[in-house]
């Protein structure tokens, strides 16, 4: 049989803290390193790229699938967030993942749960202003996943760039002994950043949304060549409004590491945007590297 | 030379996260288990009892000494809190401690630090009402110490009973892989709970403060025999006011585990009090076990 025709072996599914700790301990006992890829499921090629990257960074890879209620506000899409564990497991197996960790909400947040984490700094502004509940919820669940599995390394996508910087921040601040790696955004052929929430787009909307990425790329190029920041950001807003985006939550230039607002590109920066197309809130971001 | 006349060997002092991780890794590499005893220094026999208990629970014991600015409000006694590292190190060595971890404030909270932890449940009410900054600061520094050292077990005194319950809560909630052990309060001969803050007492005050413990013991006995709760708590307030305590922050009966208020002793409870004598805020607590 050729490798291509081999059926993927069934992926072990871990449900509890005890399960994941036993699995990691068994691997470590054999001298193996472990990577964790935390996800909310509804996996696409972007997630699978994280798994493949994780395979290069460690001997064994666990992907977690957990739609984390703590990071959704009551009016947000927790209930309708897409869920497909069987499909996710098949995709993970095909990408070379070694185990799926899918804990229950009750297992993660049992009765009496009373602890919260808040992050300032990189969590301030941008999505932090529009989804004030999100980064505290992300910090809580990622801290728990890190401390449950204690992997050597964890891999996150740069599509959620602010989230990545927030995770780096609290991981360092709390001295969590896990290395955090970011991976550049995986895109559709027309440039749209892959996202589970793209499923919310109607067909007529899908053809218009790549303009978000195109306008960010053009703006980053102009900024790198020294264009005046406010004018460039205004132009991005104009282009994406014209493409049919409704509410534009933000288009902002920030320091690439601290995410502090910057008025000029003197060191690596990041251009970030969030805007609504119909029922889908899309986010994207691109690097801005000073010329020369 | 007899053991009693042997000079204690100098205690290794660890200053950085790298130091403590290297020390713990070296011990673990040799198959040894590790206990941590977090303190704010100004050590007394109560702390040394924690170290001796830790020695029984693990092969090696690290005591940390760090006066944690995050758990003091601006008006509190952070600046005048007693500090004596050399004296602390000598006491720890004599109690069989294997290393002192004394990080710097800058090492624990470097520029850009942006993460906070808050705890509800057992942190609500009691000292949480009078020192609203404290338990968040305790949660932050203990989480950091736990994740820096990753000991098998950590030992805390029941003198700070609410703190012990808060530490158990967030350690469980965040899945921190450290076992938390409590040790009964160590007392002076006249019953006063040992505390670094007893140093704030004037000589004339020192003779009066044991009445706090005596009144709690008498009340716990009455409660265990079925006395009406409000009447007993009022009697405690009367006795300690008469002994010369000024402001009484609280005298309360709580569930021994959740610290929820209880109106009757139907399962193990805890009677807790905080009151001021001159410049010293003293706290104490005793178990209340239902009779029969």
User: B interface mutation test: which of A115, A120, A176 has the most B CBs within 10 A?
Assistant: A115
Q: Is the pLDDT of residue B15 over 70?
A: yes
What is the tens place of the pLDDT at every residue in B154-168? 999 999 999 999 999
Spot the catalytic one: B27, B34, B47, B108. B47
Domains defined for chain B, CATH in brackets: 3-183 (3.40.50.620), 196-288 (3.30.1300.10)
Q: Does B111 touch chain A (CB under 8 A)?
A: no
Provide the residue-wise pLDDT of chain A in tens; the chain has 292 residues.
Answer: 444 445 557 899 999 999 999 999 999 999 999 999 999 999 999 999 999 999 999 999 999 999 999 999 999 999 999 999 999 999 999 999 999 999 999 999 999 999 999 999 999 999 999 999 999 999 999 999 999 999 999 999 999 999 999 999 999 999 999 999 999 999 999 999 999 999 999 999 999 999 999 999 999 999 999 999 999 999 999 999 999 999 999 999 999 999 999 999 999 999 999 999 999 999 999 999 988 6
HSE-CB of B174 using CA atoms within 13 angstroms: 31
For the range A217-221, what are the long-range contacts, defined as Cβ-Cβ under 8 Å and sequence gap of 24 or more?
A217/A191, A217/A286, A219/A271, A220/A271, A220/A286, A220/A287, A220/A288
- Interface contact A118-B115, CB threshold 8 A: yes
The dihedrals phi and psi of B181, each to the nearest 5 degrees, come to -115, 140
Closest CA to A232 of A158, A291, A288: A288
Q: How many residues does chain B have?
A: 292
Quote the minimal CA–CA distance from B116 to chain A in Å. Answer: 5
Q: A20 exposed, middle or buried (CB, 10 Å; 0-12, 13-18, 19+)?
A: buried
To the query of whether residue A47 is one of the catalytic residues in this protein, the response is: yes
Nearest Cβ partner for B117 among A112, A115, A169: A115
Nearest CA in chain B to A121: B114
- Counted across chains A and B, CB pairs separated by less than 8 A come out at 81
C-alpha B178/C-alpha B37 separation (Å) is 12
Nearest CA in chain B to A141: B174
């Amino acid at each position: 049989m050729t490798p291509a025709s081999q059926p993927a072996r069934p992926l072990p599914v871990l449900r509890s803290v005890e399960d994941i700790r036993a699995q990691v301990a068994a691997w470590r006992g054999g001298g193996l390193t472990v990577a964790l890829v935390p996800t909310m499921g509804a996996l696409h090629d972007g997630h699978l790229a994280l798994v493949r990257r994780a395979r290069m960074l460690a001997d064994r890879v666990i992907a977690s699938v957990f739609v984390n209620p703590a990071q959704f506000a009551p009016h947000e899409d927790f209930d309708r967030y897409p869920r497909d564990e069987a499909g996710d497991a098949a995709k993970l197996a095909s990408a070379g993942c070694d185990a799926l960790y899918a804990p229950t909400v009750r297992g993660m947040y049992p009765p009496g749960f009373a602890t919260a984490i808040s992050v300032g700094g990189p969590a301030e502004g941008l999505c932090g202003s529009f989804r004030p509940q999100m980064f505290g919820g992300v910090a809580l669940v990622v801290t728990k996943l890190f401390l449950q599995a204690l992997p050597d390394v964890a891999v996150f996508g740069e599509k959620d760039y602010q989230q990545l910087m927030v995770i780096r921040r609290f991981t360092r601040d709390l001295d969590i002994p896990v290395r955090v790696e970011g991976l550049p955004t995986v895109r559709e052929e027309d440039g749209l950043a892959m996202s589970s929430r793209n499923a919310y787009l109607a067909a007529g909307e899908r053809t218009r949304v790549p303009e978000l990425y195109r306008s960010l790329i053009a703006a980053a190029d102009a900024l790198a060549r020294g264009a005046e920041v406010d004018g460039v950001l205004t132009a991005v807003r104009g282009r994406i409004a014209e493409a049919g985006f409704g509410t534009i939550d933000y288009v902002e230039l920030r320091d690439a590491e601290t995410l502090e607002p910057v008025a000029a590109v003197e060191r690596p920066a990041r251009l970030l945007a969030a805007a609504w197309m119909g029922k889908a809130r899309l986010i994207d971001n691109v690097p801005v590297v000073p010329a020369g």
